[in-house]
Structure 1
Amino acid sequence: MTNNEIDKLVTAMGGLLQTKASPDINFVIVKNVLAGKYKWALNNLKKPIVSENWVHQCWKEHRVVPHDSYRVLPFSGLTISVTQMPSHEREEIKKIVLQNGGKYSAELIEKSTHLVCDISLIIYIILL
C-alpha cells in the first residue's frame, strides 16, 4: 500500500496523515522494523507503532479499532538465519523469531537480514 492510498483512507476517516517526523501524532504506521520511521518512533515517541492492516481495519469498521493486535513486532521484516547451532537451540530461536514477527531460515539465504551463530565460529573466522 502506498502513502497515497493510506492518506486517502486516513483523510476519508477524518484524520491527517503526516509523512514527516512530528511529536504531534497519535499513531505511527510502518511496514516493518527496517523503516526509518520505526526506529525514530521507537526511540523518540511513546505512541503505538502499527501496521498498514490497522488502517484497513479502522476503515472496514468505521472506527478507531484497538491497536494491540496490529502493532509491529520487533522482528517484522527481518529474515533470521541460523548456522553452527545445536538443533534444540535452533528450535528455540525459530520459535522466538516467529513469535516476534520475523521469518526464520535454518540456512543462510540471500534474503537473510541477520545471522545467528555460535560465537566460537566468529572467533575462528576473525583469527583466520
Structure 2
Amino acid sequence: MFVSLNMRKLQSTNTSNLKQLVTLCPISYTLTLVGGRWKPLIINRLMKQPMRYSELKKSIPFVTERALTLQLKELEQDGLIQKIIHQEKPPRNIEYLLTEKGRSLHPVLSALYEWGKENNQPILMEIAP
C-alpha cells in the first residue's frame, strides 16, 4: 500500500498518524488517494480516454503546470494511473491512462458526483475590502 506521502517527513508524527488512519479506515485511505484539488478531475478525464499532458492541461483550464505535474506523479505512485512513453515517429510524447485500480474508482466518484450535485450550496466567502 502506497499513500501519497511526498510532502511529509517519513519519521514525523503526522506521517505516522496518517499511516495508522488509512490502515484503520478504508474511507480515509480512499480519500487520501483521490483527495486533492485536481485529482478527481484528472481521473474523470482519463475515464473517457488516455490523454497527453497537454490535453489534460487544456481540459482543466485553471490548473497550474506545477499542480498538474505533482498530482499526476502522486496518482502514478499510488497506482491509479500509468504513464506511457511512446517511442514512435512522429513522437506522441507521454500519454496517461487509468490502471484497473484507477478504473475501479468509477462508481465511487460517480456516487460523490451525485451527492455533490444534490447537496451543493454555493460557498459564500467574505472578501475583505
In the superposition, the TM-score normalised over structure 2's length comes to 0.24
Greater radius of gyration (CA)? 1
In the superposition, the TM-score normalised over structure 1's length comes to 0.25
Name the one with the larger helix percent: 2
